[in-house]
Amino acid sequence: TKEGQYVSNDRGRTWYLLTSHPDYQRATVVCPSRTEPGTIIAGADLVGIARTTNSGATWEAPSPGLTLIVLSIAIDPSDPEIMYAATFSAGVFKSVDAGVTWKHAGPDSGVVFHVAVDPVVHSTVYASTSLGVMRSDDSAATWRLAGQD
């Protein structure tokens, strides 16, 4: 919220203000780590990706290479180090170090609303874009419109 970060320790029944920052940006997506308790990756308006390893008590500076509006984050089910972020204006970004650094991974299609990794074939990544659903079969190295094989 605009007041700061809230946290719940009882599965969302109650919430309390964890930190208050006057320059805090609204989180657009929050993605907890499945393998590292306390690690959370959060996308925020015009900030990019922030990362915490202590359940939000402190946050690392936004990740280099990604300072855009992030709409969605997906984690590779076979390798939690590999993550994808959908952005409002610059396509998909990929991290191979659990969200510490990010690099542009296409597609060049304007807005990417959502990104997902296939739960069976982990090298297949889908992106819901302003042009339609895009598909990559090589871990986001190349992209094409889905259904146009």
pLDDT exceeds cutoff 80 at 142 = yes
* Residues 63, 51: Cα–Cα separation, whole Å: 8
Q: Per residue in 85-94, pLDDT tens?
A: 998 888 999 9
Is the pLDDT higher at 145 or at 50?
Answer: 145
Mean pLDDT of 81-106: 90
Question: Looking at residue 1, what is its pLDDT?
Answer: 54
Contacts with 69 (C-beta within 8 Å, 6 or more apart), sequence order:
28, 43, 45, 46, 87, 88, 89
Kindly report whether the global pTM for this prediction surpasses the value 0.85.
no
pLDDT exceeds cutoff 70 at 49 = yes
Is the pLDDT higher at 49 or at 114?
Answer: 114
Q: Per residue in 3-35, pLDDT tens?
A: 666 666 677 788 766 664 444 566 778 888 878
- How many angstroms separate the Cα of 45 from the Cα of each of 9, 25, 32, 42? 25, 6, 18, 10
CA nearest 107: which of 93, 124, 117, 121?
Answer: 93
pLDDT exceeds cutoff 70 at 136 = yes
pLDDT exceeds cutoff 90 at 147 = no
Mean pLDDT of 67-78: 87
**pLDDT-derived band of residue 60, with 50, 70 and 90 as boundaries?**
confident
Angle, alpha carbons 36-39-43 (nearest 5°): 135
